[in-house]
Homo-oligomer: A and B are copies of this chain.
Amino acid sequence: MTIELYAQRIIERCEILARYSEEPERLTRRFATPAMQQVNALVAEWMHAATMAVRQDQAGNIIGRYAALDSAGKRPQTLLLGSHLDTVRDAGKYDGILGVILALALVERLHEQGTHLPFALEVIGFADEEGMRYHHPFIGSTALAGTFALPALQLLDSDGITMASALQEFGGDPEHIQAARRDPSDLLGYCEIHIEQGPVLETEQLPVGIVTAITGQNLCEVSFRGRAGHAGTVPMSNRQDALCAAASFVLAAEQGARAIPGMVATIGQLQVQPGASNVIPGTVTLSLDLRHPDDSEREQFYQQLHKEAQKIASERQMQLEWHTCSSEQTVACSPQLTQLLTSAVKQQGYRALLLPSGAGHDAAIMAELTEICMLFVRCYKGISHHPDEAVNTADISETITVMENFLQLLAHHTQEERHDEPV
């Protein structure tokens, strides 16, 4: 079967999986739901057909193992490939799913060719990355990486069902979820294929890009407290309009971020109190999301914006509240694996575009367990978390080849390492 047919099959399978949803007219598939059960079952079937050994682990992750080439009694190492099979509400078909199905196709290609690699391949479909059901993301990958926080098992979903009981019902094992942790000494690394979720590859006219790091993030909640008043009776000079202060801050964040290459600043939420057309805003509360792969550069800009907010509040005689919600450090990809991915892309005749991932991924969690690398696939207009999410078949073909190059380079690399070992 040609690579093009494999690419078509990958798209078809993503479309098939998109039918398994909790909601009739749109794709919503949360952790440990019947829709996830159906998807795991179908993926398991496809894995079996490719002669993989399939199991669902304690956290509900579906895992297929394709054996290594017989390595003369030596215990072979394992390369993990994967992404997640859960979705956000009203999701697209490819975010997460593509990484699992494309990895599976790589195994199918090996099986079709009757080939094995000098290392085992495991394809993982993580049970939860988006965190929609329990407002707690990365259930699947934290379990595998051994960083799952046990108290989360007591979280309740909107129907009052604990995570523990949902997982039990799903066929997982909440009491032994820690046993899902993998032994890092068995692993060569973890490689994740994912749609870019941004417009860079489209702009650069490239089918794939190589991720250098999963960008760190500062998230905070900012409130400007001025004074509400009647829209008709308070002269402009007597106002302490919290929305005007917030507007100055929004533009300062935009202008500041524009001046720093690679920086993104987003105010995605903004609430006006009291919020009536004839009342001057008394309080405005907004979210600030800052991302940049260089932790110190980002932290410095974060402090700069805090000072800017203080200045705006003081000039307008208002109170400022600045509450840091979270501060995530940047997670670097493995230089070695990323170098191999770079060579694999160049082998296919493409410029190797290195870019950070502004979005969070299972790979960032897996980095606590093993070496990671990530390959981004161009997506339509950079759209994600939306039904319009799309990839094109030609790009999927290119991705398959790039990944096959990568696997060959890694095989060569591990063989060399083996030869270098003292006999």
User: What is the interface of chain A, defined by CB distance below 8 A to chain B?
Assistant: 196-200, 203, 215, 217, 219, 228-238, 241, 243-244, 246-248, 250-251, 254, 257-258, 262-270, 272, 274-281, 287, 289, 291, 357-360, 382-386
Contacts and interface: CB of A to CB of B under 8 A. Distances in A.
Nearest to A219: B277
A251 B258 contact: no
Contacts of A199: 229, 233-235, 238
Contacts of A274: 268
B264 A234 contact: yes
7 contacts: A198-B230, A230-B384, A231-B264, A233-B359, A236-B254, A248-B251, A268-B275
Contact of A280 (B248, B262, B266, B360): B266
A274 B266 CA distance: 13
Nearest to A215: B232
Contact of A230 (B241, B248, B265, B385): B385
Nearest to A358: B232
Given A203-B238, A233-B197, A250-B244, A272 B275 contact: no
A231 to B, nearest CB: 4
Contact of A237 (B235, B258, B384, B385): B258
Contacts of A385: 230, 279
Given A268-B277, A268-B280, A357 B233 contact: yes
Given A238-B199, A250-B243, A231 B357 contact: no
Contacts of A358: 230-234
A195 to B, nearest CB: 10
A263 B250 CA distance: 25
A268 B230 contact: no
Given A228-B386, A234-B382, A236-B264, 10 more contacts: A198-B233, A229-B382, A231-B289, A233-B382, A234-B264, A237-B258, A246-B247, A247-B247, A267-B281, A268-B279
Contacts of A246: 247
A400 to B, nearest CB: 23
Nearest to A262: B235
Contact of A198 (B234, B275, B287): B234
A289 to B, nearest CB: 5
Q: Which 7 A-B pairs have the closest CB atoms?
A: A232-B358, A198-B233, A231-B266, A277-B287, A247-B247, A247-B250, A233-B358
A251 B251 contact: yes
Nearest to A196: B233
Contact of A200 (B228, B235, B254): B235
A200 B233 CA distance: 8
A268 B264 contact: no
Most buried by B among A217, A229, A266, A382: A266
Given A237-B258, A238-B203, A269-B272, A197 B230 contact: yes
Given A231-B289, A238-B199, A270 B272 contact: yes
Contacts of A198: 229-230, 232-235, 238
Query: Which residue, A197, A200, A267, has most C-beta atoms of chain B within 10 A?
Result: A267
B236 A263 contact: yes
A266 B237 contact: no
